[in-house]
Structure 1
Amino acid sequence: MNRSFLLRIPFQRLRVILLGILFLNMMPAKAQNRPETKAPLSLLQQKFVDLRFGMFIHFNIPTFENADWPDPEARASDFNPKKLDCRQWAKAARSANMTYGCLTTKHHSGFCIWDTKTTGYNVMNSPLKRDVVKEYVKAFRDEGLKVMLYYSILDTHHRLRPNSIQPRHIDMVKKQITELLTHYGPIEALIIDGWDAPWSRISYDDIPFDVIYKLVKSLQPNCLLMDLNGAKYPAEGLYYTDIKTYEMGAGQRISAETNKMPALACLPLQGSWFWKTDFPANPVRDVNKLIDEVLIPLNKASCNFILNVAPNRDGLFDDNALTALKQIGQQWKNDGPVAPIAETGPPVISHNLAKRAPANSSWSDDSNIMDFGNDDNFGSSWLSNPAVKKPWFEVSLKPGQQFNTIVLFENDPHIRRYKLEYHDPSGWKTLFEGENLNRFKINRFKAVKGDKVRIDIESYNDRPTISEIGIYNNPL
């Protein structure tokens, strides 16, 4: 600043200017509206799997109801952890050589354990009257641990459930996620549950996935978004998540031999996700098996393992859980970054235009007709009749529909060479022609508009099948 200019300014005014400059220099970057630099997705994925091992913390209204899915009308006054100490959780995570934590900010019954302005059903209206999320993020950061958050789309208290979703529900979800991603500093990942799962039955159309995904990235560009419904989709494809997810307790298993995707797998240390009255007296999982049969093999398969530890009704970990975590830390050391992972490309986040759209095909095999090729079920398939020598499959779209990605998936990869075409008012045009032997065949291209998509199967090893076709106007 020019010195002569400063000399001409009255002292009181000069004092205000200098204090303002000092204040701006002391403000964090975000407060000065400096946009966060967006890192490549591949780098964020690599950093995530490099973390190797973290702590899931299921702590919410179910803790006080002895049920993972309590009465949706359970009183806020039931939430009363009289000795809550998030520092104990963080120190316990550190004792196990974990690198991060993830807390259930809101589970399926809709109780929010942060100071939300979206609903009165929250921790500030409980006897605790303290923002648990705030205390958790501080405690974990003080221990040098990364911070992640869990959030449930399914919300039985607020009637955000199948066949009942209204625009106000979408608005609530957006406002709650905005609070979580603006009030608590950098969040490494937002893990979402209760979305497009068989037991929740809330689709990515009911609560539009692309809208929520874009919101998360606008608030924190480097926050990974994970949806826990990974089991529905092929292991090779990145559908509706930045990281493949596996809930091992529900029978979802990652292949340690063949996995090439950045992944997350989870298990509870105790008998279930939320604390139960018999936890202090019951043994926890065997530490040796957790290390040798779960943690180490998963890390070798580009998979980060998150172990759930449930605080009790005082807001503390039981002694048997603390002992197990210390034993893990004594027997397992975090060796840092894992092997480099392969590029995945951007995830599919938009609506599948082919889902249950009118389909047609060459002659099918018995009942395995064309409708099974786009029924949103990867377990069913269209199967070509053995008499057909040049099989084809076609999907009709609304006139002028825009799209830029087509995905073909075969449970058994028989298709070798194929041609993709789309139809517009001027006729058929080729999008791709070539060979692809993978089960998961993703085709990205500059956006086009058309009313039909057709696959001409030119060569194959055995009778061609299509388990699912996806047509998307996906951000590239």
Structure 2
Amino acid sequence: MKKNLMIRVFAALLLLTTGVARAQQQSSLHQLQQQFVDLRFGMFIHFNIPTFMPDDWADPEASPAIFNPKKLDCNQWATAAKSANMTYGCLTTKHHSGFAIWDTKTTPYNVMNSPLKRDVVKEYTNAFRAKGLKVMLYYSILDTHHKIRPGQITKADIAMIKAQLTELLTNYGDITALIIDGWDAPWSRISYDDVPFGEIYGLIKKLQPNCLVMDLNAAKYPAEALFYTDIKSYEQGAGQHISTDNNKLPALSCLPINTAWFWKSDFPTTPVKTVDRLVNENIVPFNKAWCNFILNVAPNRDGLIDNNALEALKQIGKQWKNDGPVAPLPAYASPIISSNIAKFQPSNSSWSNDMNIMDFANDDSFRSTWQSNPNVKQPWFEVEFNKEQGFNMITITEDKVRIKKYRLEYNEDGEWKPLPQEGDHAGRVHIHRFPRVWGNKVRILIDDYTETPAIAEFGVYNEKR
């Protein structure tokens, strides 16, 4: 009896110790974001079936037979990254045309059915870790081969996405960050409702709590807050440029060293971007603004980085030294990851300009606005639901900072009730989190402003907490 009791006590202590150890291993989101910007500079590696075609947007029916890098050497990539004083890499596991370069069980459209028949993700992760480099992965939600595109997404498609992410976050060790593309971007048109963001985000955090989620969605969402991403990400080639004067969020900026993301036949003979530009116009100013810079270096069809790019990386390493951690990140609101239940719901407002009516304040576009008529002294805007909804967060995004004072209210059983006024205010974005309430209407009453108020988006959310 005493022996059994001792065994039980030991087992309980072991469980307690294990739980404490896991809690200690899991860092806070703010710590992880700080660690990410402290990395300063890394290598983006666009290498996939578009490498063997003339266009970055590959034919979705291209045969796996064309993927044949006969001299593939991920150790060369890692050595090149180290020569530039980079601290991590990020590989395109699956791009928009749906070809997977790991040993996936989810689809035959993968590298194991190519002439290479080797798990590129495995070789990349092993090579970079062997050099002391952190490992990140890129994954595209848009998948034209498997018809994961607007208007055709099924439950089976979502299940495949989850299965693929589970493989990537289970079979390849610790992944520092996952860069996601082709999701709720104006050009992909796959919304966070079509492929539910909260579910995917939750799965990633369940599999690897310390893995940061970076969605390349800066083309749509404002720079002042973290909408559906742990890190604000900017693709320079798509016209997305971080403000090094005003940024206060953990950020990433990406740029290819060549003229395109995937290798092109003229890359070996075309000059790459200058070392001075990459160091003095990207790495240095971005790092001062809590922005990590990731430089794309595309391997060629043999699976090797071209000599001109290798030399440029060496010169970067001579000109720029990694001085370690950047300044502490400022305080900011935690990411918004839940669905906006106010989107496209019936709305109403005080008198507004004909070209800026109330519908534009919840049309899922930050480029259009509801704007009050200048003759209205106390403007208001409201959203109505077809039934009572539970919610615990409201966001107000202005087109520019105009509103000085306002009140938020919700309607429950025909009675308007006040909501807490405290919140996070980051420039034109106002974020209010509060204990969950239930109501069928929500409104903002604007009491004071510098110019005629204009709201780009009014969001209502029911966050999981």
Of 403, 408, 422, which aligns to 1:420? 408
Q: Distance in 1 between matches of 2:119 and 2:206?
A: 25
Q: Tell me, in whole angstroms, the C-alpha distance in 1 between the residues paired with 2:347 and 2:362.
A: 8
Distance 1:464 1:34, change over 3 A: closer
Q: Deviations over 1:427-448 (max 9, x none)?
A: 1111034796941111000111
Partners in 1 of 2:123 and 2:299 — Cα distance?
Answer: 14
2:112 alignment counterpart: 124
Is the 1:424–1:451 Cα contact (8 Å) retained in structure 2? yes
Distance 1:166 1:55 in 2: 34
Aligned position for 2:10: none
1:336 aligned residue: 324
Q: Does 1:239 align with 2:227?
A: yes
Aligned counterparts of 1:384 and 1:161: Cα–Cα separation in 2: 37
- Amino acid aligned to 2:450: N
Other-structure match for 1:446: 435
2:453 to 460, 464, 467: 464
- For the structure 1 residues 98 and 151, does the alpha-carbon distance in structure 2 shift closer, same or farther, using more than 3 Å as the test? same
Deviations 1:450-470, CA, capped at 9 Å, x for gaps: 110011111111111111101
Provide the C-alpha distance between the structure 2 equivalents of 1:86 and 1:437, rounded to a whole number of angstroms.
Answer: 42
| Mapping of residues 103-122 of structure 1, within 5 Å | 103-122=91-110
Q: Give deviations 1:281-302, integer Å, cap 9, x for gaps.
A: 1111111111111111111111
Q: Deviations over 1:369-407 (max 9, x none)?
A: 111111111111111111111111000023221111100
Distance in 1 between residues matched to 2:427 and 2:293, nearest whole Å: 27
Q: Please say if 1:226 is aligned against 2:214.
A: yes
Please tell me whether residue 386 in structure 1 is matched to residue 386 in structure 2. Answer: no
Question: What SS is found at the alignment partner of 2:175?
Answer: coil
* Matching residue of 1:15: none
Q: TM-score, normalised by structure 1?
A: 0.92
Following TM superposition, by how much is the alpha carbon of 1:413 offset from its aligned partner in structure 2, in angstroms? 1.2
CA distance in 2, matches of 1:233, 1:291: 28
Of 338, 342, 349 in structure 2, the residue corresponding to residue 350 of structure 1 is 338
Aligned-partner SS, 1:416: strand
User: Hey, what does 1:275 align to over in structure 2?
Assistant: 263
Distance 1:444 1:128 in 2: 51
- Asked if 2 retains the 8 angstrom alpha-carbon contact of 1:36 and 1:221, the reply is no
Q: Which secondary structure does the structure 2 equivalent of 1:214 belong to?
A: helix
Find the aligned partners of 2:392 and 2:158 in 1 and give their Cα distance. 26
Structure 1 equivalent of residue 383 of structure 2: 395
Paired with 1:387 and 1:275, the residues of 2 have a C-alpha distance of 58
Cα distance in 2 for residues equivalent to 1:356 and 1:96:
48
Please state how far the C-alpha of 1:229 moved relative to its aligned partner.
1.1
- The answer to whether the aligner puts 1:58 opposite 2:23 as a matched pair is no
Task: Write the distance in 1 (CA, Å) between the matches of 2:67 and 2:419.
Answer: 57
Instruction: Quote the offset at 1:350 in angstroms.
Output: 1.1
The amino acid of 2:67's aligned partner reads F
Q: Does 1:325 align with 2:295?
A: no
1:374 matches 2:362: yes
SS at 1:159's partner residue?
coil
Map of 1:20-169 to 2, 5 A cutoff?
Answer: 37-169=25-157
How far does residue 412 in structure 1 lie from its aligned partner after superposition? 1.8
1:415–1:437 Cα contact (<8 Å) kept: no
RMSD in angstroms over aligned alpha carbons? 1.8
Structure 1 segment 260-339 matched on structure 2, within 5 A? 260-339=248-327
Structure with higher Rg: it is 1
Distance 2:41 2:34 in 1: 14
Please give the alpha-carbon distance, in whole angstroms, between the structure 1 residues aligned to 2:331 and 2:77: 35
Is the Cα contact below 8 Å between 1:42 and 1:344 reproduced in 2?
no
Inter-partner Cα distance in structure 2 for 1:256 and 1:430: 38
Structure 2 distance, partners of 1:437, 1:175, is 37
What is the CA distance between 1:201 and its match in structure 2? 1.0
Equivalent residue letter for 1:468: E
Q: Is the 8 A contact 2:33 2:230 kept in 1?
A: yes
Amino acid at match of 1:256: T
Listed as ranges, the gaps of 5+ residues in structure 2 are 4-13
CA positional deviation for 1:426: 5.5
Q: Distance in 2 between matches of 1:128 and 1:194?
A: 27
Report if the CA contact (8 A) 1:422-1:454 is conserved. yes
**Separation (CA, whole Å) in 1 of partners of 2:421 and 2:118:** 60
How far, CA to CA, are the matches of 1:36 and 1:105 in structure 2? 30
Given that 1:355 and 1:374 are in contact with CA atoms closer than 8 Å, whether structure 2 keeps it comes out as: yes
The TM-score with structure 2 as length reference comes to 0.94
| 1:95 to partner: Cα distance | 0.2
- Whether the 8 Å CA contact 1:62–1:68 is kept in 2: the answer is yes
The 1:291–1:438 alpha-carbon spacing in structure 2 relative to 1, beyond 3 Å, is closer
- Cα distance change, pair 437–233 in 1 and its aligned pair in 2 (3 A): closer
CA distance in 2, matches of 1:289, 1:69: 27
Structure-2 change in CA distance of 1:368 and 1:97 (3 Å): same
Measured in 2, the distance between the counterparts of 1:47 and 1:186 equals 14
Q: How many Å separate the matches in 1 of 2:274 and 2:464?
A: 44
| 1:116-140 per-position Cα deviation (integer Å, ceiling 9, x unaligned) | 0000000111111110000000000
| Alignment: residue pair count | 449
- Paired with 1:247 and 1:178, the residues of 2 have a C-alpha distance of 26
- 2:8 corresponds to: none
1:343 Cα deviation after fit: 2.5
Letter in 2 for 1:133: V
Native 8 Å contact 1:413 1:437 kept in 2: no
Check if 1:188 corresponds to 2:182: no
In structure 2, how many angstroms separate the alpha carbons of the residues matched to 1:232 and 1:366? 24
Equivalent residue number for residue 14 of structure 1:
none
In the TM superposition, residue 344 of structure 1 has moved relative to its aligned partner by 2.5
Q: Distance in 1 between matches of 2:405 and 2:276?
A: 48
CA distance in 2, matches of 1:40, 1:34: 12
Percent identity of the aligned residues? 65
Partner of 1:475: 464
